[in-house]
Every structure is written in structure tokens, then in C-alpha cells.
């Protein structure tokens, strides 16, 4: 369903909560199946169908380079589609800057920030480092001796270490970051004693934390997370806050009426008990922010990430 019919259905949905369900929502995921963006899209699909907010949906995956491969397709080939949303987030912001991508996320239309996942800083259970303050002292003493495992270079984990370094007055280029393909290899390096510690989304390390195999020093959220007995970086004197947020974007060319209707759809979805249940199950925080406010947040994140990546040496 495209063109004027699509706009009309979306506008009707946006006008009142009990409007008929949208015939079809097309979700574009600029990543391979199974990752965080794909999980977000499939959770959206589940909730929207369960709540009868949509009738049908289609998910298209185009993976590669943290979204830098898929974004041009969404911007150019999905332009003007009235019932389409791309799922992306902080990882794409960093990837586009690090890859010097010619297509920008700002060419899309921000619709809604949906979820955030706290990052967690961990060390092996037998480490002499007991707190984030201890970690900071070791980092200031000799950053090269403090090796930190995480995901791809320039990703959220790397950005967080760069922010910690900046907050402590440690030159980001001197940080000893060891990039791994994902949380599995990173945790293996930590448990094997090959690195001083590691950074990842809490979900990646949660099992090992609960089992006592690694010690969680701090979470990167603004406040302590429900059900997670780990202090924040800020509580321990490190003035850093970072959430691995994910959200949705409309393609270029979508009308204001269409964008407003999509914002309404996301607002309705996020207010449901089903959304609350599904996000809690995945240990995601629901962090709603819509439209222009989301756009202003995005501009701030782009500036912050670009500054950190320049300091690390991954951006020009």
C-alpha cells in the first residue's frame, strides 16, 4: 500500500486511538537478522500486530558496515514511501562518521527514539580492580597497561571508553581498546585474562555477571537500572552517561501528515502493556522521544560522537 491510499490510512490512524489498523508497515533494517536493530524491528512487529495497530508487515534486512551499506538504499530507493520506517541507532551514528559515508542519517526524518540499553564496564572476578574509581586510577596511571575488550572499532563500546578517557583527562588516542566481532569473543578474552576488562551492552555480559564470573564496575546510564545492582559511572565520580539507543526514521519525501501519523503510531505502541512486557524481557529501557525533539537529540549525539571519534583517531 503506497501513495495517497497509504497516506490516508496513516492519517486516519493518527487521528484517533480506535482507528482501524494500518494495512501494512514496511520496516527497513540496515543490519543482518539477529542483531539489536533486527530484534527491535521484530519486537515492534509483534507488539503492533498483537495490539491490532497494523494488519501486516514486511521486514527488509540490508546488512553491512554498521548501517552504512543499507542507509543509501533507504534514502534513495525508499524515498516517498508513506508507510515505511528504518530502525537504527547510536551504532549507525558512529559507523557513518568512521566510514566517512557520503549519505547521512540526517537525510531521513526522525520519528521516534524507542529503546536504550545501558553499557556495562566489567573486569574478571579475580581482578584487583574493585570499582570504577579503581579502574579510573589505573587508566590515569598508565592507559597502555589497561586493555579493554569491546565490539567493533568506533562502535558504542569504543565510544564509551573514549568518553571515560576524556572525563578522566586521559588522551583518547592512548587508550588500549581491543576490538572483537561481538560480545562472545570479548567475554572469552576477559574470562581468559587476556585483557584488563571489557565494555558491552548489559545484555551481553549479564549472564556472566550473575554467575560471578566477571565483576560489574559500573553502568553507563544516567540512573541505576531496575533489577541491576550496579552503580553508575557518575555515582563514582566519572561524569559520563551513554545509552545504546535505538529508534525509527521515515524516508526522505514523507509528508508532514505521514510523519505525524507514524509518530502517533509509535506513541500508541510504546504506551501498551505488551511493549512494556517485551522490552523488559529483553532488558531494554523504554525511552520515548518523538519528532523534532528526537531530531534535536540526534543532532547532539552526532556532534558528541564525532568529537570522540576524532579524539580516538577514527574521524577526520
Number of compact structural domains in the chain: 2
- Examine the domain organization and report whether 103 and 182 are in the same domain: no
| Residue 293 Cα distances to 82, 130, 257, angstroms | 21, 39, 17
The enclosing domain of 112 has a CATH number of 3.40.190.150
Angle, CA 278 vertex, CA 276 and CA 281 arms, to 5°: 105
- Examine the domain organization and report whether 88 and 124 are in the same domain: no
- Examine the domain organization and report whether 112 and 123 are in the same domain: no
Domain boundary among 236, 271, 294: 236
- Examine the domain organization and report whether 16 and 112 are in the same domain: yes
Output the pLDDT for position 182: 67
Domain boundary among 207, 236, 265: 236
Handedness of CA 218, 219, 222, 227 (dihedral sign): negative
Domain boundary among 236, 260, 277: 236
| Series of mean pLDDT values for 10-residue runs along the chain (316 residues) | 46 45 92 90 98 96 91 97 95 90 96 95 97 97 96 88 96 92 83 96 88 97 88 97 95 95 98 96 92 98 94 85
Whole-structure pTM value: 0.83
- Examine the domain organization and report whether 103 and 125 are in the same domain: no
pLDDT digits 0-9 by tens, 258-287: 999 999 999 999 999 999 999 998 888 999
pLDDT digits 0-9 by tens, 221-271: 988 888 889 999 999 999 999 989 999 999 999 999 999 999 999 999 999
Percent of the chain residues topping a pLDDT of 90: 73
- Examine the domain organization and report whether 253 and 304 are in the same domain: yes
* Segments forming the whole domain that contains residue 196: 119-236
pLDDT digits 0-9 by tens, 38-51: 999 999 999 999 99
Phi (first) and psi of residue 115, to 5 degrees: -135, 160
The per-residue pLDDT of the chain, averaged, comes to 91
- Examine the domain organization and report whether 61 and 134 are in the same domain: no
Output the pLDDT for position 5: 43
- Examine the domain organization and report whether 109 and 131 are in the same domain: no
- Examine the domain organization and report whether 88 and 102 are in the same domain: yes
Output the pLDDT for position 10: 53
Host H or E run for residue 204: helix 202-210
Amino acid at each position: 500500500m503506497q501513495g495517497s491510499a497509504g497516506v490516508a490510512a496513516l492519517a486516519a490512524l493518527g487521528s484517533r486511538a480506535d482507528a482501524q489498523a494500518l494495512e501494512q508497515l514496511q520496516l527497513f533494517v540496515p543490519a543482518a537478522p539477529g542483531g539489536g536493530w533486527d530484534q527491535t524491528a521484530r519486537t515492534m512487529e509483534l507488539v503492533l500486530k498483537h495490539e491490532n495497530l497494523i494488519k501486516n508487515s514486511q521486514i527488509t534486512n540490508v546488512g553491512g558496515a554498521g548501517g552504512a551499506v543499507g542507509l543509501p538504499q533507504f534514502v534513495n530507493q525508499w524515498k516517498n514511501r508513506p508507510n515505511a520506517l528504518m530502525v537504527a541507532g547510536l551504532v549507525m551514528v558512529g559507523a557513518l562518521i568512521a566510514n566517512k559515508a557520503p549519505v547521512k542519517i540526517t537525510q531521513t526524518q526522525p520519528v521516534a527514539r524507542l529503546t536504550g540499553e545501558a553499557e556495562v564496564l566489567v573486569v574478571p572476578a579475580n581482578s584487583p580492580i574493585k570499582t570504577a574509581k579503581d579502574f579510573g586510577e589505573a587508566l590515569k596511571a598508565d592507559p597502555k597497561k589497561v586493555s579493554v575488550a569491546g565490539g567493533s572499532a568506533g562502535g558504542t563500546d569504543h565510544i564509551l571508553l573514549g568518553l571515560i578517557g576524556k572525563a578522566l583527562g586521559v588522551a583518547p588516542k592512548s587508550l588500549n581498546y581491543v576490538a572483537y566481532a561481538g560480545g562472545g569473543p570479548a567475554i572469552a578474552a576477559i574470562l581468559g585474562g587476556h585483557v584488563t576488562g571489557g565494555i558491552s551492552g548489559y545484555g551481553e555480559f549479564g549472564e556472566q555477571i550473575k554467575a560471578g564470573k566477571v565483576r560489574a564496575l559500573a553502568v553507563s546510564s544516567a540512573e541505576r537500572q531496575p533489577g541491576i545492582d550496579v552503580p553508575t559511572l557518575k555515582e563514582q565520580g566519572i561524569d559520563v552517561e551513554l545509552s545504546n539507543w535505538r529508534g525509527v526514521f521515515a524516508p526522505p519525501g514523507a509528508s508532514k501528515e505521514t510523519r505525524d501519523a507514524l509518530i502517533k503510531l509509535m506513541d500508541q505502541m510504546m504506551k501498551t502493556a505488551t511493549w512494556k512486557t517485551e522490552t523488559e524481557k529483553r532488558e531494554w529501557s523504554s525511552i520515548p522521544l518523538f519528532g523534532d525533539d528526537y531530531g534535536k537529540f540526534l543532532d547532539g549525539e552526532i556532534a558528541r560522537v564525532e568529537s570522540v571519534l576524532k579524539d580516538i583517531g577514527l574521524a577526520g
